Amino acid sequence: MSKKQTEELSKSKAKRQERQKEVSKAKRHKLIGKIVGIVVAVVIIAAIVAAIGLQIYKVATRTTTSSDFSAGLNEDGTIANIDVSKSITLADYENLVVPMSEVQATDEEVDSDINSTLSANQGVSDDTSLEVADGDKVNIDYVGTIDGEEFEGGSATGYDLTIGSNTFIDDFETQLIGHKPGEEVTVDVTFPEDYSTNTELAGKDASFAVTINGIYVTPELTDEFVQAHLSDQASTAEEYRQVVKDKFYKQHLEDYLTNYVDENSTVNSYPKAYLKNVKGLLKYDDEYTLSYYNQMFSQYGVDTYENIWDSKDGINNEIEYERDLTKRAKETVKTAMVYQAIYEKAGLSIDMDAYLADLTETNGEDYVNNMKTTYGTAYMAQTHIKEVVTDYLMENANVQ
């Protein structure tokens, strides 16, 4: 074979090898394309399945609302189908020592409570030595005129006005500062340009002839004041201050004890049926609140909440809402279990006839009938159990 023939044979072989490479490359690309297509299809199918699964999960876990407060309860107010002594490990409340420093009333809260009582019993004083000051409540008569003519809504007698409340336009209120009961004051003001209460008055100058009838004065806590206004609680100022101290002491002690037994008890197992109903009750309350908010928003032209979880801080979707709902329901059920466990352990009892009679005497028969219709007697019995247990804990508390 000549050299030329050998070279041509080599070139021909090289071309065949090149074509084989291109064919193999094309096959690989085609195969890769098929694989990618399969993978994409699998991903799409997985996404669809996941979406369907998510919807199924949402439907399966979605709480059904309930308005039956007595569902899952026995008629005596205890949770049905549960041995609460095994379902919860109670805190050692019997050996609890409550520090006096944690429950005694502070001077600040006693003074604040007494001041609130005194403020609620303010009276109008016409003492001419008094002067109107910022923050005072005054009683006035006034007649408003524009260009010497009275206008509709511009006059009143015996009107109570708090200075600095900005109830009246412009600087009406500040112009009364420094004046005394019995004085007649001319107050000149200008209605705002955007005054919407009466657009005919917008931007106009007005003059008000004001008579200061008196200034409200806060009384002091004296024996005379107590005897005149608080005789059903005490007869002297010192006795009333002790009444207030005792009130806060009881409040603090109750809070301390109820928080202690709840926080230091452990749930071993939850009653499923009752827990489910409590979740429904909480959701029912959430939906009621949502409806109320949306009605208010609509009235003021504010965007309403689209979903129930939109009204909850830190909750972004239905799954998170359901988790939060479960958490809140477990807290509620745990508290009920704690009270029931103490109730049974201490051998306590309730007298529903006496309880309902007392409610009727205090609030009326219609109130009690409405309570029965709304909540059911079982739920009312459970509420009474909590009261009885709280009284028991407070009566047996060791405060040092």
What distance in Å separates the CA atoms of residue 70 and residue 93, rounded to the nearest whole number?
28
- Which of 57-66, 141-150, 336-345 comes out lowest in average pLDDT? 57-66
Please write down the long-range contacts of 73-77, taking CB distance under 8 Å and 24 or more positions apart: 73/274, 73/376, 73/378, 73/379, 73/381, 73/382, 74/378, 75/377, 75/378, 75/381, 76/350, 76/378, 76/381, 77/350, 77/378, 77/379, 77/380, 77/381, 77/382, 77/383, 77/384, 77/385
The mean pLDDT value for 209-219 works out to: 98
Using CA atoms, how far residue 131 sits from 156, 212, 213, 279, in Å, is 22, 10, 12, 58
Res. 12 pLDDT band, cuts 50 70 90: low
Return d(Cα 388, Cα 382) in angstroms, integer.
10
Average pLDDT of the residues in 12-32: 56
The model's pTM is: 0.74
Residues 304-331 have a mean pLDDT of 93
pLDDT at 175: 98
Partners of 189 in the β-ladder: 206
* pLDDT reported for residue 311: 87
pLDDT of residue 231: 97
Return the pLDDT at 302.
87
If you average pLDDT over residues 254-277, what whole number do you get? Answer: 98
Confidence check: pLDDT of 177 > 60:
yes
pLDDT bracket for residue 55 (50, 70, 90): very low
The tokens describing 199, both together, are 């657009």
Q: Which spans in the chain are helix H?
A: 3-61, 84-87, 100-103, 107-119, 223-229, 237-263, 272-299, 318-345, 352-363, 365-375, 377-395
d(CA 367, CA 345): 33
Compute φ and ψ for 136, nearest 5 degrees. Answer: -70, 150
Residue type, 221: L
In the chain, % of residues over pLDDT 70: 85
Does residue 8 surpass a pLDDT of 80? no
Mean pLDDT confidence for 337-343: 98
Q: What is the mean pLDDT of residues 98-125?
A: 97
Q: How confident is the model at residue 9 (pLDDT cuts 50, 70, 90)?
A: very low
The CA distance from 325 to 286, in Å, is 10
pLDDT of residue 344: 98
Average pLDDT over residues 310-335: 95
To the nearest 10 degrees (0 to 180), the angle between helices 377-395 and 237-263 is 110
Q: What is the mean pLDDT of residues 143-157?
A: 96
Q: How far is residue 125's CA from residue 179's CA, in Å, rounded to a whole number? A: 14
State the average pLDDT over residues 250-257: 98
The confidence score (pLDDT) of residue 333 equals 98
Residues 6+ apart with CB under 8 A from 282: 325, 328, 329, 332
What was the pLDDT predicted at 128?
96
Q: What is the pLDDT, as a whole number, of residue 45?
A: 45
- Kindly state the average pLDDT of the residues 370-390: 98
State how far the Cα of 174 lies from the Cα of 134, in Å rounded to an integer: 8
127-143 pLDDT, tens per residue? Answer: 999 999 999 999 999 99
Instruction: Examine the pLDDT at 267 and tell me if it is beyond 80.
Output: yes
Q: What is the pLDDT of residue 23?
A: 52
The confidence score (pLDDT) of residue 10 equals 54
pLDDT of 52? 43
Best-predicted range by mean pLDDT (4-13, 33-42, 323-332): 323-332
